[in-house]
Amino acid sequence: MAVHLDKATIREKIARRAEQEIENGFYVNLGIGMPTMVANYIQPDKQMVLQSENGLVGIGRSPYEEEVDPDLINAGKETVTASIGSSYCSSAESFAMIRGEHLDLAILGGMEVSETGDLANWMIPGKMIKGMGGAMDIVHGAKKIVIIMDHVNKHGEPKILKQCHLPLTGKGVVNRIITDRAVIDVEKDGLVLVEIAEGWTVEEIKESTEAELTISSKLLETSF
């Protein structure tokens, strides 16, 4: 039976699970929105670097009120802290890092993901946006792309589809999807359900996913 949690708790659980994708030595980009929360859950013994396309290499956790520096922000214009050993660079240098394939991992938000790993996450037609941001560069520059998002939209409709309906950020770029209900890998033969959140059943996951799912023989149930 599905477990119903408040939105904040769901987002925290997704961010905590996404943190497990980061390995020692990784250079990582965190996308705007929920992905920025991942910085708050980095294990203290993990040696890695968080990079922001606006020119901060070495992002730390979110600041406490007394630590807020309005000039120290991430790409989403949220205030952040800088970790020990961090450095600052121009946006041009930051994108040279991204386009030069120096990022091991990018954790991004998503509006839609297709069964072939297409990603739509930068705009909804008719909605006012500030710009496309750096996502189109990141999805082609990072070695691994992990998308974190709700499994369904606010209308209860699937966000993991046979084919994306929104404008694409990139085709065939997604490696793994982490939602409030499951972890799904994008393989060359389609989508594979590898983890299921506690309280959900395989049948419920399949019903809330438009794309066809193959169930891993090593399916795990996790508490995220």
Instruction: Encode pLDDT of 20-76 as tens digits.
Output: 999 999 999 999 999 999 999 999 999 999 999 999 999 999 999 999 999 999 988
| CATH number of the domain to which 12 belongs | 3.40.1080.10
Assigned domain for 24 exists: yes
Number of domains in the chain: 1
Flag whether 25 is in a domain.
yes
> Under a CB-based contact definition with an 8 Å cutoff, are residues 58 and 83 in contact?
yes
CA dist., res. 37 & res. 31, Å (int): 10
CA torsion through residues 86, 89, 94, 100, sign: negative
**66 occurs within a structural domain:** yes
- Which residues is 193 bridged to in the sheet? 184, 215
Residue 205 lies in a domain: yes
Contact 135, 87 (CB under 8 A): no
Position 2 in a domain: no
Q: Domain span at residue 197? A: 7-222
pLDDT for 124 equals 80
103 within domain boundaries: yes
Catalytic residues: 53
Share of the chain above pLDDT 90, in %: 87
The pLDDT-based confidence of 169 (bands split at 50, 70, 90) is very high
What predicted TM-score, i.e. pTM, was given to this entire model?
0.95
Residue 1 lies inside a defined structural domain of this protein: no
pLDDT in tens, 110-152: 999 999 999 999 988 777 776 667 899 999 999 999 999 999 9
Q: How far apart are CA 40 and CA 42, in angstroms?
A: 6
